[in-house]
Structure 1
Amino acid sequence: MHTIELPAGPLKYRTWGPRSSTAHPVVFLHPVLTDGRLWTNVGELLAARGVRSYAPDWPLGAHVAPLHPDADRSPEGVAQMVRDFLDRLDLTDVCLVGNDTGGALTQFVITGGEPRVSSALLINCDAFTTFPPFPLNAILAALRVERLAVLVATAMRWTPLRHSWLGYGLLSRHLDPTLTRDWLRPARTDPAVRRDLIAFLRAVDPERLDDATHRLADVDIPIEVLWGMADRCFRPALGRRLARAVGTDLREVPGARTLLALDAPEEVAEAITALRPVL
């Protein structure tokens, strides 16, 4: 685990793969209330292929290093943190991989102009005005209120509830109780982390994402769309619409839900490496 200081605050991140890799690096963007450990299986698969990858704990509620009090916690502010991360580590020819909220952040990064990014993979993610989708919009709306955020995080300490359709069970078939408990602990126990999460959720604006999604067709880098077809939140129809907007074919993963890094890590690693020949 590494830590670097960015203008918005400290950022912890994990890495896999050889430092001396000649393959283009991969940077992962995770959803709200998860952290970089989501990508462990994918990172290890890529490492076996000689690819160096990076999985920061973005300030989306499961992070343990709160932002500075004056930091911009909006989606665009976190997208700027992505750019600052790439600059700080001097990463070039990067493949950005975003899932769920991380897919929305990826769209903000690449449509805002980022020369260090040369390809992107969008996985079951927010797009157009679906930000967030039903029924996650109702759950995340509750988390915008301090006392309700504490109440929800506390109730989710009970694994059967946390892994039910009211929690992470909606998003994956392959959940580790220890990992999902860890994901909720910072928001439950640290007021500064809750501040970051609440500010981010309050700043979510579907119209701004809709503008970014429609501008993807003008981005001159390869973009692919990978979709778990059993997703109850980000429905296959949204994936197909996003693929059309990008100008690519939808890569379908039957039986997988939102968190493909857990449900289908091999397919994610394959989709990432498939982008490499055109970089």
Structure 2
Amino acid sequence: MAISTSLGRAHEVDLPGGRIRYYDSGEGAPIVFVHGLLVNADLWRKVVPGLVAAGYRCVAPEWPLGSHEIPVPTADLTPTGVADLIAAFLERLDLRDVTLVANDTGGAITQVLLARNRSRVGRVVLASVDSYESFLPGPLKGLPWIARIPGSVRATIEPMRIRALQRLPIGFGWVAKRPIPPDIADSYLLPSRNSAAIRKDLRRLLKTLKSRYTLDAAKHFGKIDIPVLVAWASEDKFFPVSFAERLAKDFPKATLTLIDDSYTFLPEDQPELLTSAILEFTRLHATP
């Protein structure tokens, strides 16, 4: 399965519980990306080139969130387990003063990481993310219960073979305002459709995605004194702007930027505006 060449060279690294593939491009201060559920590093394919051109090193891992190609059967796939996996990744690559850029489910996991181990994180961009009581958001809250039924994951994913269904709310219709190119949709959906091992990973993950993790992480926000950019789609169908305002208020060093003409997948719908917001934020809060 092809991954966009704009992400850079592919590498693999062994972490506790399994191996992770990641894409590395550019030189300079590191930016590490955290995608969400049922997407992979391709989510960032239109953001990375602009950041690399501006002098940053961009590292885009394939986190085990259902669109990964390397199974991780012994990994802890709870939100805390995946947060610890991110921390282990930063340590393994010896990345310091990192800018984390997270979207969707990846934002919830990043909040858990900030509450547990932010020693290598210098600043964070939360770009339309799950938070507080909205993990998962309302229309998807039943997924953890559905995932408890044997065979349910395959039954849920299989209809996405039909391109027209991908534009419905059960597909990408409520997260991407514009149609996702077929090759990118395949990049997101084929791993779980083609691999029983990936579906098993996905099922283990889905069963744990509950708001108690984000609500617990939120208790620590007042102590998190690193700069946070809350970049939010003003038309987001899953995450109301009120949640963005709440995050911006609860983090001591947060700023809020609204991005128009986009749904949750800001890197898909408005990559140029998101890239500009990231660049402005990182330059404003660069380490001396």
* TM over 0.5, shorter chain: yes
Question: How far apart, CA to CA, are the structure 2 residues paired with 1:249 and 1:219?
Answer: 14
Match of 1:9 in 2: 18
AA at the equivalent of 1:115: S
AA at the equivalent of 1:3: E
Question: How far apart, CA to CA, are the structure 2 residues paired with 1:230 and 1:141?
Answer: 28
AA at the equivalent of 1:278: H
Match of 2:6 in 1: none
SS in 2 for 1:119: strand
Report the Cα offset of residue 151 of structure 1: 1.4
- Judge conservation of contact 2:66–2:192 (CA < 8 Å) in 1: yes
Question: How far apart, CA to CA, are the structure 2 residues paired with 1:17 and 1:219?
Answer: 29
Report the Cα offset of residue 210 of structure 1: 0.6
The equivalences for 1:205-244 within 5 A come to 205-244=210-249
Structure 1 residues 178 and 145 mapped into 2: Cα distance closer, same or farther (>3 Å)? Answer: farther
Question: How far apart, CA to CA, are the structure 2 residues paired with 1:214 and 1:227?
Answer: 22
- Judge conservation of contact 1:153–1:185 (CA < 8 Å) in 2: no
**Aligned match for 2:141, one of 110, 119, 137:** 137
Report the Cα offset of residue 85 of structure 1: 0.7
SS in 2 for 1:61: coil
Report the Cα offset of residue 140 of structure 1: 6.0
Q: Does 1:270 find its partner at 2:276?
A: yes
The equivalences for 1:108-147 within 5 A come to 108-138=112-142, 141-147=145-151
Structure 1 residues 250 and 38 mapped into 2: Cα distance closer, same or farther (>3 Å)? Answer: same
Deviation per CA, 1:30-81: give whole Å up to 9, x if none.
01000011001111110111111111000000000011x3321101111111
Question: How far apart, CA to CA, are the structure 1 residues paired with 2:41 and 2:280?
Answer: 22
Report the Cα offset of residue 141 of structure 1: 4.6
Question: How far apart, CA to CA, are the structure 2 residues paired with 1:134 and 1:92?
Answer: 36
SS in 2 for 1:169: coil
Question: How far apart, CA to CA, are the structure 1 residues paired with 2:150 and 2:14?
Answer: 27
Match of 2:68 in 1: 63
**Aligned match for 2:97, one of 76, 84, 93:** 93
AA at the equivalent of 1:101: T
State the number of aligned residues. 274
AA at the equivalent of 1:147: G
Report the Cα offset of residue 144 of structure 1: 4.7
SS in 1 for 2:47: helix
SS in 2 for 1:225: strand
Question: How far apart, CA to CA, are the structure 2 residues paired with 1:139 and 1:218?
Answer: 32
Report the Cα offset of residue 205 of structure 1: 2.8
Question: How far apart, CA to CA, are the structure 2 residues paired with 1:97 and 1:213?
Answer: 18
Question: How far apart, CA to CA, are the structure 2 residues paired with 1:213 and 1:267?
Answer: 27
Structure 2 residues without counterparts, runs of 5 or longer = 1-9
Question: How far apart, CA to CA, are the structure 2 residues paired with 1:266 and 1:13?
Answer: 23
Question: How far apart, CA to CA, are the structure 2 residues paired with 1:231 and 1:141?
Answer: 25
- Judge conservation of contact 2:147–2:207 (CA < 8 Å) in 1: no
Match of 1:49 in 2: 54
Question: How far apart, CA to CA, are the structure 1 residues paired with 2:228 and 2:87?
Answer: 18
What percent of counterpart residues are identical? 34
Task: Using structure 1 for the length normalisation, give the TM-score.
Answer: 0.93
